[in-house]
A and B are shown apart, each in its own frame.
Chain A
Amino acid sequence: MTFDRRRFVQATGVLGLASAFPIRAQAGSMRLGLMTVKTGPLASGGIDMERALVQYLKEHNNTLAGRKVELFVGDSGGVPAQSRTKTQELVERDKIQAMIGPLDTASALATDDYIRSAQLLTLSVAAAEDMTQRKPNPWFTRGTSTSSQCSMPLADYCAKTLKMKRMVVIADDIAYGHEMCAGFMRVFEDAGGKVVQRMFPPLTVPDYGTYLAQLKTNVDGIFLGFAGSNGFRFLRQMNEYGLIKKVTPVGGMTALDEAVLRNMGDEALGIVTSCWYSAEIENPINQKFVSAFRNEWKYDPGFYAAATYTEAAVLDATLQAIKGNIEDKAAFMKTVRSIKVDTCRGPVQFDQYGNVVGNIYIRKVERKDGRLVNRVIHTYPNVSQFWTYKPEEFLKNPVYSRDSPPYKNLES
């Protein structure tokens, strides 16, 4: 049967391929995995993640706490099931001992149960809130931010400093967008403001015309919870419809990231955003990081690059504290949750759920040296994922989502 013959050839082929690529296991070295996205719409952030991590390792001679590091990079293409498969590949084939990443929330959620069963030490970039809240994963640490960790302080700033009273929120129609807006709305309304309109366009909508046409203009500002290039496209279209002067845009942590900013023009000037990072932060570690990154790649590092650079610093500090003994997973997790590290984003430490507590910066877009930058105009220190709410109270409510907490002040 030709049926058999084909399968046989194929099976032998696979066996042959397998023996051609034996697993390298060098004694004494440490195997680190990076789960990122290098193809598809999230690729630009993912590529930055790799660049910054490689830079950190190079600056430290590829050695952390006295052990040589072997880096294995996985590309999930932004597809959650693929992310999980690639993580399995990194663990089962390349035998990684720790993983930095993944990039996107859905991938983190997809890999959650595998991380638990494989007990994989994970330093995440992804913002999935519940992984450090109601369903905390004991092997999971996050040095970046939850979705709402940056939007809540911004709401405070809008209400108290910018004196806004009525606002609109708009974000991509995904969990990340919902979580950001819910957090923003809660803090804004607790400070006396009202969110009178919310819009959640589909993630891949090509044109924001319909949404702009419905936008209320009798408001003080609009909060943009977009990710990737959507924030930039929305702003441009807002400009084209003549709305940018009427309704002041303020942005979440990914709306005007350095990666997007470098392709924008004057329409971005003066826009206030909040994030746990800015390339303009003035501490010695960051200045060194930014100038080296810019020298190599000719653009400023943003959210994603800073994410892996920070996670690498956390990894480094933790390893040093446990004398490089990454094999002791329990000690690693215990240490990482009690450690304090100075990084490019400022000082960081972690709460009992594994989420970072650190500075959140309010930034304004300005022109410097002929390019657009996010200048830091205000710092909220020691911000946790719960903002000023008590953790026990916070966790009693269901996770931030489209309708939780409910939007009580919407006007039609």
Chain B
Amino acid sequence: MRIANLTHGALYMLGAYFGVSILKVVPNLWLAALLGGLAIGVLGALFEKLVLRKLGGNVLGQVLVTLGVAFIIADLCLMVWGGDPIPIQTPEFLQQPVRLWGLVFPAYRLAVVVLAVLVGVLLYLLMERTRLGAMIRAGVDDMEMARAVGIPVSRLFTIVFCLGAALAGAGGIIGGPIMSAYPGLDSDMLPLALIVVILGGVGSLFGAFVGSFIVGFVYTFGVALLPDLAYVILFLPMILVIAFRPKGLFGKFAA
């Protein structure tokens, strides 16, 4: 959607905190993730409709307002949930390690991987194979023409933003057993998300998928082999890709 959205990390963190509270009432992690995701989605939709819409193509304004909202959310979380890190319990049946081919894997992480692939596939199908997806893509490619043909572009954009926010929120809860909810979670997650999207290419879901694999692998192995260069390794793939291919690996737009 070509919006410079720097609130995403904060939405992830807010989702994690919502999850903490929801889990007190609804002890099932997956259900909590669904509910939490919905809540954040609604917030996201409101934000898009009331604030972001007014900015149109004003990229700088988007940067300013999304960062401003990120600050507000971060401080709100601190006010409501306090400064301590709050853990989220791993679902019981996934707490033990799993033995596969002689290696030990924490079961929950495997589950998250499976879930991520599932979500990726669903999103892909949504964007490429449904009418809704086609309308969204049309709206992004050529807003005026799409409108002329009768596609309610504005409403669609709100829906897309809502979906993105919901995924971030649910992601925060699902990532909770691994990451916990703590102040600073937003600034830890945001650069990772941005790197993956830019490396994979703006506008391409498949690119984001591939990007996350590349970044994940390079970072994990890099940190193990060369711990001193941890931060360099995190950004190196992206720097290399953009320097030689400004659109990213599979990008549709010159970012």
State whether A241 touches B104 (Cβ < 8 A). yes
Question: Which of the candidate stretches A58-66, A229-237, A345-353 sits at the interface with the other chain?
Answer: A229-237
**What interface size band does chain B fall in?**
20 to 34
Judged by a CB distance under 8 angstroms, whether A411 is at the interface is no
State whether A210 touches B224 (Cβ < 8 A). yes
Within 8 A of B (CB), among A194-228: 199-202, 204-207, 209-211, 213-214, 228
Chain B 52-90 interface 0/1 with A at a Cβ cutoff of 8 Å (1 = within): 000000000000000000000001001000111111011
Note all chain A residues with C-beta closer than 8 A to B82: 44, 47
**Given A200-B227, A204-B188, A44-B90 contact (CB < 8 Å):** no
Cβ of A92 to closest chain B Cβ, rounded Å = 27
Residue in A229, A237, A241 whose beta carbon sits within 8 Å of that of B84 in the complex: A229
Chain B 85-108 interface 0/1 with A at a Cβ cutoff of 8 Å (1 = within): 111011000011100000010101
State whether A209 touches B220 (Cβ < 8 A). yes
| Assembled-state Cα–Cα distance A263/B85 (Å) | 8
State whether B188 touches A207 (Cβ < 8 A). no
State whether B180 touches A233 (Cβ < 8 A). yes
State whether B106 touches A213 (Cβ < 8 A). no
| Assembled-state Cα–Cα distance A263/B83 (Å) | 12
State whether B97 touches A40 (Cβ < 8 A). no
**Given A206-B188, A213-B224, A40-B86 contact (CB < 8 Å):** no
State whether B220 touches A229 (Cβ < 8 A). no
Interface-central residue, A41, A211, A240, A263, by most chain B CB under 10 Å: A240
**Given A204-B188, A210-B220, A236-B87, A41-B97 contact (CB < 8 Å):** no
Q: A39-B78, A240-B106 are in contact. List 19 more A-B contacts (CB 8 A).
A: A39-B183, A43-B183, A44-B82, A173-B227, A201-B227, A202-B231, A205-B223, A210-B221, A210-B224, A213-B224, A229-B182, A237-B178, A240-B108, A240-B109, A242-B97, A259-B84, A263-B86, A264-B87, A265-B89
Pairs across A and B, CB under 8 Å, 29 listed = A38-B83, A39-B78, A40-B183, A44-B82, A44-B83, A44-B84, A173-B227, A199-B227, A200-B227, A202-B227, A205-B223, A205-B230, A206-B188, A207-B178, A210-B220, A210-B221, A210-B224, A211-B224, A228-B85, A229-B84, A229-B180, A232-B87, A237-B106, A237-B178, A240-B90, A241-B97, A241-B104, A241-B106, A264-B87
| B residues lining the A interface (CB < 8 Å) | 75, 78, 82-87, 89-90, 95-97, 104, 106, 108-109, 178-180, 182-184, 188-189, 220-221, 223-224, 227, 230-231
